């Protein structure tokens, strides 16, 4: 369960990072 939680958390962080970069790129343009 801990490994699954960690893996899911990492995937969530990656998704959030992508959304932040995407919104940041929109702000620059």
* pLDDT of 1 over the 70 cut: no
Average pLDDT of the residues of the chain: 85
Q: How far is CA 21 from the centre of its chain?
A: 9
Q: How confident is the model at residue 19 (pLDDT cuts 50, 70, 90)?
A: very high
Tell me which residue range forms the domain holding 2.
Answer: 1-28
Q: What is the C-alpha to C-alpha distance for residues 1 and 23, in angstroms, rounded to an integer?
A: 33
- Count of structural domains within the chain: 1
Q: What is the pLDDT of residue 16?
A: 92
Answering whether pTM is above 0.95, one says no
Mean pLDDT of 9-27: 90
Q: How far is CA 20 from the centre of its chain?
A: 8
């Amino acid at each position: 369960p801990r490994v699954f939680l960690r893996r899911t958390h990492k995937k969530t962080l990656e998704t959030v990072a992508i959304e932040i970069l995407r919104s940041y790129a929109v702000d620059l343009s």
